[in-house]
Structure 1
Amino acid sequence: MKVLVTGSAGRVGSFVARQLLAAGHQVRGFDLRSAAIEDADFEEVVGAFDDREAATRACERADAVLHLGAFMSWLASDRDRLFHANVDGTRVVLEAAAAAKVGRFVFASSGEVYPENRPAFQPITEDHPKEPLSPYGLTKLIGEELVMFQGRVSSMETVILRFSHTQNADELLDPESFFSGPRFFLRPKIRQQEAFGNKAAAELLRAAGPGRPALVLTRNEDGRPFRMHITDTRDMAKGVLLALTHPEAAGGVFNLGATDPVDFAEVLPVMADRIGLPLVTVDLPGAGVWYHTSNQRIREMLGFEPEWPIMRMLDEAVKAWTTRQA
């Protein structure tokens, strides 16, 4: 099979591309930068998703498209770029795929199409109202509508995967990680809140500092610890490949992620103990992050079973931390 992987230089896309190559498929990458994959069965188109000429070249003779690429940002200054990449880009790639008679199109959406911070019910299933609270989530919801439209008006099979938050295990304890740094480490968390303009939160965090690097257990204004899904890249890739090949996936919408959410109050003390950093607890203004998303549909219909729960990921993260400190 010849498979186009968009976002081929990204975390999930590059891993999926290598998995496909190892399985004997031909792979074409499509991203703004090279994936730097050296394999006789790999080629790539470097360009923007909303560039029609590049998208046409990328989809040419493809049997399937895994549209995993997107632009992620929660900054107001990035709003135009979000819509260009995630809405216009998805539309252009879809139209190029349909024109190329692609058989199946798998779209990486996001759990942010739900109001994750204010769910109507939990666990959040695929039938939960789609009411995004972020511009990023809105672009993904519009992308879903574009995918479903193309599925109605062409012969192309479509699959929508609502991605959980994804991390490589070795990123969990990396203070420089874009996501895990400010999620678990105090100083990166302060910098993040300052960038968001949340001065009150930044001051609360700064006041809790012990004067040296530390981990931070964040809770909401009522003292409830944060809870969210964090899924290993390897498990996400497994779900993507099932969506590519499983006959029951066609036309489906699936939450893709870990079975159990991560309770920060349980995980942070273990992290602190394993790497020997102090742990501070800070209650931040607002309702905080606290959600549980169901993956029951993809487990029952496609046989998806995650293999990398958070504590198993943490074992690898500690090894990576130890190596960085040596």
Structure 2
Amino acid sequence: MKLLVTGITGKVGTNFLPEFLANEKFSGWSLRALCNNRVIDHATIEIVRGSLSDEHTVRAALDGVTHVLHMAAVKESPHLAIDVGVKGIFNLLEAFRTSKEARQFILIGGDCSVGHIFHPYDAPITESSPRRAYPGCYALTKVIEEVMLEQYRIQYGINACCLRAPWIMEKDDFRYVLSFRDQFGGPAWSEFLTDEAIARHAEAGAIPLLRDARGAPLKRNFIHVSDLVSAILLTLGNPAADGELFNVGMDVPVDYACVAAQLSASHGVPVVEISTPFHSNWLDNTKARMLLGWRPTVDLKLLIQRAWAYARAPDDPRLVWYPG
């Protein structure tokens, strides 16, 4: 078996690689990475260098490949969105469907395809809920990816599935999600607070308690990268994944009131309430738990513990490849 990975130098890819190599299930598999701007240096990985938008590069990368794990993505970069998010997956799927060796195609999607906190849903978001992208090119391309994958299954009967993940956390990410000083992701505090208020909260070491459009504590979906990696490993070569879309997130969404209560009790931090126009949603992971036998292991308590206990070494700088 030969696995082609795109996006191997990113957050998920760098966590996936050691787990894949250590897993006896995949002993004897070979690994190839399609890299463009950043290249991984690893003795066991064959590298193909080039852009996903180039048909010839992609076909060369698929040569002899049995399984594809497509994780490459760009955020709010309109000049790259079509190349990566549209042409990229089209080229991969075209090469995959015409290959005699190809067996399984896995796409890592995102809950931006269902609008995460931007659109209201009357019930938990399942795999049959309507897709509702929020403004911006990134969410649009994630919807296009899901739909294109779905249509290739219908048109050509390929073995393909999508793991739809919410906001992916590792190391001390979650601590920076709640920071007024060095914020990671959004919503940007400047949308709700003055510069003076942000500076005051940063100096106090405060954390936000976001409230949704109804005034209730906001509930937003997250997943720890280790749980996403475990879902990928369970999906690779698994017949139960054939043709399926799976939501893979924490069992319950993160409740900002619970976050505030835990951190106030454990670290004595002050809490700042912030009203927002956003919506509390629940990404239902029942299907992945039932068909894949997958269980997320990092809950809110552990997410907080890991983020606040993480200490960076000098050779482990905080790098944010894209803002969220």
Q: What is the TM-score when the length of structure 1 is the normalising length?
A: 0.84
Partner of residue 154 from structure 1, selected from 151, 156, 175: 156
Moved over 6 A (4+): 190-194
Whether the aligned pair in 2 keeps the contact of 1:98 and 1:154 (CA below 8 Å) is yes
Instruction: Within 5 Å, give how 1:1-326 maps onto structure 2.
Output: 1-23=1-23, 24=27, 25-40=29-44, 42-73=45-76, 78-101=77-100, 102-116=102-116, 117-134=118-135, 135-154=137-156, 156-173=158-175, 181=176, 183-189=177-183, 201-203=193-195, 205-206=197-198, 209=201, 211-220=203-212, 223-275=215-267, 277-284=269-276, 286=277, 288-321=278-311
CA pair 280-55 structure 1, distance change in 2 beyond 3 A: same
What whole-Å deviation, never above 9, does each CA across 1:88-140 have from its counterpart, x for those lacking one? 11111211222333111011122111133323322111111112123322211
Range with bigger deviation, 115-124 or 4-13: 115-124
**Is the helix fraction higher in 1 or 2?**
1
Deviation at 1:310, TM superposition (A): 2.1
Q: Secondary structure at the match of 2:308?
A: helix
How many residue pairs get matched?
307
CA distance in 2 between partners of 1:110 and 1:234 (Å): 16
Deviation at 1:313, TM superposition (A): 2.4
Deviation at 1:38, TM superposition (A): 2.4
CA distance in 1 between partners of 2:285 and 2:201 (Å): 37
CA pair 5-322 structure 1, distance change in 2 beyond 3 A: closer
Deviation at 1:277, TM superposition (A): 4.1
Q: Percent sequence identity over matched residues?
A: 24
CA pair 282-100 structure 1, distance change in 2 beyond 3 A: same
Q: Secondary structure at the match of 1:188?
A: coil
CA pair 31-266 structure 1, distance change in 2 beyond 3 A: same
Deviation at 1:164, TM superposition (A): 1.7
Whether the aligned pair in 2 keeps the contact of 1:220 and 1:283 (CA below 8 Å) is yes
Whether the aligned pair in 1 keeps the contact of 2:120 and 2:279 (CA below 8 Å) is no
CA distance in 1 between partners of 2:192 and 2:20 (Å): 47
